[in-house]
Amino acid sequence: MEMKITVSCPTPNRCTLLILVLFSFAASPLHASLSINFYASSCPTAELIVSNMVRSASSSDPTIPGKLLRLLFHDCFVEGCDASVLLQGNGTERSDPANTSLGGFSVIDSAKRVLEIFCPETVSCADIVALAARDAVVTAGGPAFEIPTGRRDGRISDAANVRSNIVDTSFTMIEMIRLFNSKGLSLDDLVTLSGAHTIGVAHCNAFSDRFQMDSKGNLTLIDTSLDNTYAKELMKKCPSGSSASKTVNNDPETSFAFDNQYYINLLGHKGLFQSDSVLVGDERTSARVEAFANDQETFFQSWRDSFLKLTTIGVKTDGEGEIRQSCSFAN
């Protein structure tokens, strides 16, 4: 299939970045109906509006980037990147217990309200979720790059589809590989996208399986892959009987910075989840973990490629789906 791409270059540096992303996009088996600058004529300020919303929200709440990034994962892994996770109502994805701790909805809704004023019924909620996650990473100090847009919003959102399609923090390597492969993602994508845990927070019950409570209610470490000092810090922050709303930072070192510290933590046996620790303990992934820990730019380059693949999982385009007027409800 022949494809013609026209690139507008406001500055030489931005032109180089666009060409790099377009090359990666064209070389990957991504959805042909998505395109860079999809809204260039229909809503030229779309991406700027989303970016400004993310930046403004993050300036007052540093946990926003982590929430927006997690929201994207939970959207794309269930029914594809179609904003189905945003739909409210009984029995929707959003109502499933695995999704009740999701956040960042207000940022998406705010961006959508502004976009409906300037470009009514034009920009999809699915694109807003993808763009907001991309911009969240930039806001937290991660790499900036263009992503294709043109997604349409799904009409189906079923809580029954959630559990079997998202990573559980207690997953083994085999379970994670199987799930990622089912989404068209490789082993390298698995290691790279796990780097999302360099920002964000987790509830205490998400890693409680690494500890055991004795008859006196005291916690002891049973997972020998976890650093003892780090384990004691976690038990102090999440003692037995902790509130269900209690959280800790995914990355204990640079909690709000999108960097390669997550991989450095893994080498020090300070991965918060069991699904983190297995990456450094498995010979299929340990070398990649070390490469990312040693060179942040290598991680950032891989992140760009894997993020592009993540945001094109099961997308709806052309005559599929719809453009919602409100991200919380189907038209």
User: Which candidate in 31, 74, 203, 269 is catalytic?
Assistant: 74
Cα separation, 328 vs 84, in Å, equals 9
Q: Which residues are annotated as a binding site for heme b?
A: 197
Sign of the torsion formed by the C-alpha atoms of 155, 50, 194 and 235: negative
Q: Are 285 and 190 in contact (CB under 8 A)?
A: yes
3-state secondary structure of 216: coil
2 Cβ neighbours under 8 A, 6+ residues apart = none
Q: Which residues contact 243 (CB under 8 A, 6 or more apart)?
A: none
Q: Kindly state the tokens that stand for 170.
A: 């207690």
Q: Which residues are annotated as a binding site?
A: 75, 78, 80, 82, 84, 93, 197-198, 251, 254, 259
User: Where do the H-state alpha helices sit in 90-227?
Assistant: 105-118, 125-139, 173-182, 187-193
Burial environment of residue 227 by CB neighbours within 10 A (0 to 12, 13 to 18, 19 or more): middle
Active site residue 31: no
User: What values do phi and psi take at 219, rounded to 5?
Assistant: -90, 140
Identity of the amino acid at 50: V
Tokens of 76: 């794309």
User: What letter would DSSP give residue 182?
Assistant: H
Q: What SS3 class is residue 46?
A: helix
Angle at 43 between CA 39 and CA 44, to 5 degrees: 80
**Token pair of 225 as six digits:** 């892959």
- Give the HSE-up count for residue 199: Cα atoms under 13 Å, Cβ half-sphere: 23
Binding-site residue positions for Ca(2+): 75, 78, 80, 82, 84, 93, 198, 251, 254, 259
Which residues have a catalytic role annotated?
Answer: 74
